[in-house]
Amino acid sequence: MTELKRKYDSIPVIELPVERFELACGAKLIVSKRAGAPITAVEVHMRGGPSMDPAGLEGTAFLTGGLLDQGTKQHDEQGIAELLEPAGGSIAGDASGLHATIVSKEWKLLLSVLAELLVEPTFPKRQVERQKDRLLHRLAVEREDPRVQGALGLRRLVYGNHWLGRPAYGSYESVAKIEPKHLRAQHKRNWVGSRCLIAVSGDVDPLAVKRFLDRALADWNPGRPLRPTPPELPPRAVRTALFKAERQQVHVHLGHLGIRRADPDYAALVVMDHVLGMGPGFTNRLSRILRDEQGLAYTVSASISSSAGLMPGVFNAYIGCAPEKVETAVAGFLTEMRRLQTELVPEEELEVARNYLLGSFPREFERASRRAGYLVTAEVFGLSEDDLRQLPRAFAAVTPQELQRVAREHLHPDACCLSVSGPMKPGEVKKLLGRAR
């Protein structure tokens, strides 16, 4: 028996049985029955999300999803809460849809409320203004937050003018102009059956769920399916940005355009991330070298896999450090990226990353909400039917040679963007990447 075969034999198998249906309203339904599960989770995914925001009203999709549960033609905000709370039910929304859970025996109650929210939300003026005020306060605070602005700066450098380069919740200026009529128009135009994917995970009968939703959503407008267009994004290249802030700490975000979740190298890149900047404790290289050995900062991280989605994500390396240590930190990021490309990772170091992933991955799926979320991810991103079974095996099979190959193909230390927030000058930031080469 080979060592790899022994690893396979010890990997817990995650069973996620799936049944798929097409609802009469045009929505897709995916149900995963888990007998005996105490909680049932539902994910309602609406295709389009922030990409459907009208120009100048960015944040409309975010507020539309977030305010669906504030009232329907049948129940006001208080009435919805009184229905759900005795059964431990909760619903939250955002630009991508709704996320809900309830005790499994009350799944019909949860689906009936969700159907109301999808078909007949009212967006009451008082609740809209209240939520807007909260969001505007958050945006006002974030405008002065160097770490937030540094992260947004990197996204703008990587994505350019594409909607991916801006926050899903919009800007202070755009949110201030949003009114209830805009949310109603957004719902009518984009929250339609043919753009919806509903995932249910819990102790439920899949066929009974399908029949229930066909009745509950009988009046929902099917609308037209969304036809996605390939994104036009700037090429990878050296670009810099500075958010000037007179603070004691400088926030450094370095990165470039990343990968899609369906990339065939995804599993190997997850392992690479755990070697480079995401590993447990301080075992990853950036934490061990930049934090422990060089004492540059307490918080340091790097990942290319965590933002991978339907669209390409971002490789993002972050550190917060003193102004006089920024050059050393940037050089450290680039050095470790290149070292993954030029040197084989020792087997002992790679084993730490693989073992952590193999131990933690199955635990993620103990929660019903994680299972429902994965059902949406797999469907939207076009993952294979056996992705969940094969992913842990792929983690276990990554070799030093495979990790070096994906680092060479997917890391671009000579074409990085650099976004810096803190007490620096633009000329200083532009020189950082040149000196670090």
Domains and CATH numbers, the chain: 19-216 (3.30.830.10), 239-436 (3.30.830.10)
Select from 398, 268, 404, 405 the least CA-distant residue to 7. Answer: 398
pLDDT at 246: 87
The average confidence (pLDDT) of the chain is 93
Task: Write the CB contacts of 318 (distance below 8 Å, at least 6 apart in sequence).
Answer: 151, 251, 252, 253, 254, 299, 300, 301, 302
Q: Enter the pTM of the model.
A: 0.92
User: Beta-strand (E) ranges in 182-313?
Assistant: 196-202, 239-244, 250-257, 300-303
Residue 247 pLDDT exceeds 90: no
Where do runs of H (alpha helix) occur along 301-425?
326-342, 347-364, 368-381, 387-397, 400-410
DSSP state of 50: G
Report residue 248's pLDDT band, with 50, 70 and 90 as the boundaries: confident
* Residue 245 or residue 13, greater confidence: 245
Report residue 120's pLDDT band, with 50, 70 and 90 as the boundaries: very high
SS3 148: helix
Helix, strand, coil proportions of the chain in percent (round to 5)?
50, 15, 30
Q: Tell me the C-alpha distance between 46 and 65, whole Å.
A: 9
DSSP state of 416: -
User: For 26-79, what is each residue's pLDDT tens digit?
Assistant: 999 999 999 999 999 999 999 999 999 999 999 999 999 999 999 999 999 999
Q: Can you tell me the mean pLDDT for 349-360?
A: 91
Report residue 7's pLDDT band, with 50, 70 and 90 as the boundaries: low
End-to-end CA distance of the chain: 46
